[in-house]
Amino acid sequence: MSVSFKNQLDKLSEISEYINENTELYQFIKQVNDLRNSNGLEKISAYRYTPYAGSSELKKLPFLSIILRSQGKRSLGLKEAFLSLRAQSCQDFEVIVIAHRASVEGKQIIKSIIESQPDSFRLKIKYLELNEGTRTTPINVGCANATGRYIAIYDDDDLLFDNWVEEFYQASQKSDGKILHAYVLAQKWKCTDQGFISMGAPTSQFCHPFDFLSQLVVNKCPLMGLAFPAHLFHQMGFWFNETLNVTEDWEYFMRVVPLTGISDIETPTSIYRLWLNAESSYTLHSQNLWDNTYQEIQTFMDQRTLLVPRGYTKHLVALIQRVNADEQKILSGYPKLHGLFYYGFSDIFSDENMLAAYNQAYIPHFRMTFTVPNVGTPFSFFRFDPCEYGGFILSDTYIHLVTSTDETIDLQLKDCKHNGFFYEDKIYFLHYDPQIIFCNPSSLHITSVTIEGTINMEIPEATIQAAIKQQCFVAKVKRKMKNMLKMLFHYPH
Looking at per-residue pLDDT, the higher value among 382 and 246 belongs to: 382
Look at residue 378 in the predicted model and tell me its pLDDT: 93
Q: Answer whether 409's CB lies under 8 Å from 403's CB.
A: yes
For residues 364 and 229, which has the higher predicted lDDT (pLDDT)? 229
Is the pLDDT confidence value at 16 over 60? yes
**Band of pLDDT at residue 463, cut at 50, 70 and 90:** low
Q: Say whether pLDDT at 328 is over 50.
A: no
CA-wise closest residue to 80 among 179, 148, 154, 184: 154
Q: What is the model's pLDDT at position 157?
A: 84
**Interatomic CA distance for residues 260 and 175, integer angstroms:** 10
**Least confidently predicted of 17-31, 83-97, 334-348, 476-490:** 476-490
Cis peptide before 62 (omega within 30 of 0): no
477 band by pLDDT with thresholds 50, 70 and 90:
low
Compute φ and ψ for 275, nearest 5 degrees. -75, 130
Q: What is the pLDDT of residue 179?
A: 97
136-140: long-range pairs with CB below 8 Å, 24+? 136/240, 136/241, 136/242, 136/244, 136/245, 136/248, 137/100, 137/242, 138/67, 138/69, 138/98, 138/100, 139/67, 139/69, 139/240, 139/248, 140/43, 140/44, 140/47, 140/239, 140/240, 140/242
Closest among 375, 362, 354 to 435, alpha carbons compared: 354
Q: Describe the chain by its helix, strand, coil percentages, rounded to 5.
A: 40, 25, 35
- The pLDDT assigned to 331 comes to 40
Task: Give the pLDDT confidence score for residue 281 in this predicted structure.
Answer: 53
> Is the model's pLDDT at 383 over the cut of 70?
yes
C-alpha torsion sign, points 209, 215, 221, 227: positive
Mean pLDDT of 448-468: 72
Which pLDDT band holds residue 266 (cuts at 50, 70, 90)?
Answer: very high
Chain-wide mean pLDDT for the chain? 84
- Number of CB atoms found within 10 A of residue 421's CB: 19
pLDDT at 213 over 60: yes
Whole-structure pTM value: 0.65
